[in-house]
Amino acid sequence: MIDKLVLFLCLTVGTSTTLLAATAPVPAPPQVAANAYLLVDFDSGKVLAERNIDHAIPPASITKIMTSYVVYHELAKNSFALDSLVPVSKKAWRMKGSRMFIEVGDKVSVADLLRGVVIQSGNDASVALAEYVAGSEESFAEIMNIHAQRLGMSNTVYRNSTGWPDGEHVTTARDIVTLSRALIAEFPEHYETYAEREYTFNGIVQYNRNKLLWRDDSVDGVKTGHTQEAGYCLVSSAKRGDMRLIAVVLGAQSEDARVAASRKLLGYGFRFFETHKLYSADQSLSEIRVWKGTAETLAIGLRKDLFVTIPRGQYKKLDAALQVSDAATAPARKYQSLGKVRVTLDGELVEERPLLALQDIAEGNLWQQARDTVLLLFH
């Protein structure tokens, strides 16, 4: 038997772009001059604008988002520290393209090299870090691919740490958003580097190539990229109030075009949508009866925070309902599915998540099991 319980809480509902348009007068997403683009809310993951988001393309220096992500993981594992010194090899020193101008034989701190990767997009810094972490750039690329698969970046293959052109080195707009969300969520203390406009190394002032940092104070990342094969690319993230958006623009015709496209996408998202948090992870939303167990009640809720994105001005039209199993029989396992939460806007279903057990409940003793067996006959 399923019982329905309508919760009168301050909730918000997220949905696809098509459904949002059906519930509020939101204009169609802007068309921007790029081969592929994607606009996503950071917290809810809702897609607000898209084109060719699963089309595999060369990522150029967008690759370095994963390069830094791998290094941050190693720092979190205490494999080394930010002040650890990295020897500069001839391969790193000889790298062409964008550079931070490290010299062969020098020993440069991990912190400085990371700034060289993030701010200056240094190919030399990327290779130096790759060799330090994995012994060789080829082995580092294997680690990059392991992380990509773990994150669900199913259409991405890395062959180097820099984004240097390689026929097999590809990614997609969707995968780039997946990686960018992981970077920001898992390493906020390191992500702050992406907002730095400049830094000085060996007396040379190096400027961040993300020009949006100068044109929009809400922008705090993420990364630029350019090769002849990839065109001009920009991954941007901006936060206004409690709402963060991520925009990916790939294959624009110029630096100005990628900036203009990104600003147009971000402006659209912030102007017409808003994001709210409904529930926290592991928050008890209801309780159900448990039979034959060491406890008689079981709290149920969600495994992850639930954020949703809706058209602006629609907040008061939301309803949320729990559809909950009326009882369970022990043993109950944590995160076992026992119902679902459904959120609607003007009667339209806009979000649905499974309700899960928030704890384990073991089988009771013989007396508890016998007692509940009898009680169940009359339930």
Separation of alpha carbons 119 and 223, rounded Å = 8
- 248 domain-assigned: yes
H/E element, 51: strand 47-51
- 269 domain-assigned: no
Separation of alpha carbons 91 and 85, rounded Å = 17
Res 372: pLDDT = 65
Question: Residue 10 — very low, low, confident or very high, per pLDDT cuts 50/70/90?
Answer: very low
Domain containing 119 — which CATH number? Answer: 3.40.710.10
Query: Quick one: 353 and 235 in the same domain?
Result: no
Catalytic residue set: 61, 64, 121
Work out the end-to-end distance of the chain between its first and last CA atoms, rounded to an integer number of angstroms. Answer: 12
Average pLDDT over residues 63-84: 98
Say which DSSP state 338 is in: E
Query: Quick one: 145 and 286 in the same domain?
Result: no
Query: Quick one: 237 and 319 in the same domain?
Result: no
Query: Quick one: 234 and 283 in the same domain?
Result: no
Question: Nearest to residue 235, comparing CAs of 224, 227, 219?
Answer: 224
Range of the domain at 217: 34-252
Question: Residue 11 — very low, low, confident or very high, per pLDDT cuts 50/70/90?
Answer: very low
Query: Quick one: 75 and 179 in the same domain?
Result: yes
88-105 pLDDT tens trace? 999 999 999 999 999 999
- 267 domain-assigned: no
Residue 18 above 50 pLDDT?
Answer: no
Query: Quick one: 195 and 222 in the same domain?
Result: yes
- The pTM assigned to this predicted structure is 0.89
Q: Please count the structural domains in the chain.
A: 2
Query: Quick one: 222 and 325 in the same domain?
Result: no
221-275 pLDDT tens trace? 999 999 999 999 999 999 999 999 999 999 999 999 999 999 999 999 999 999 9
Domain containing 316 — which CATH number? Answer: 2.60.410.10
Res 329: pLDDT = 87
Strands 107-109 and 198-201: unpaired
Tokens 């060799």 -> residue: 131
- 69 domain-assigned: yes
Separation of alpha carbons 101 and 229, rounded Å = 25
156-196 pLDDT tens trace? 999 999 999 999 999 999 999 999 999 999 999 999 999 99
Separation of alpha carbons 111 and 92, rounded Å = 17
Question: Residue 1 — very low, low, confident or very high, per pLDDT cuts 50/70/90?
Answer: very low
94-141 pLDDT tens trace? 999 999 999 999 999 999 999 999 999 999 999 999 999 999 999 999
Mean pLDDT is lowest, of 67-76, 122-131, 350-359, for: 350-359
Q: Residue 282 in contact with residue 318, Cβ under 8 Å?
A: no
- 23 domain-assigned: no
- 21 domain-assigned: no
- 177 domain-assigned: yes
Using alpha carbons only, what angle is made at residue 48 by residues 180 and 158, rounded to the nearest 5 degrees? 30
Residue 213, CA atoms < 13 Å, CB-side half-sphere: 20
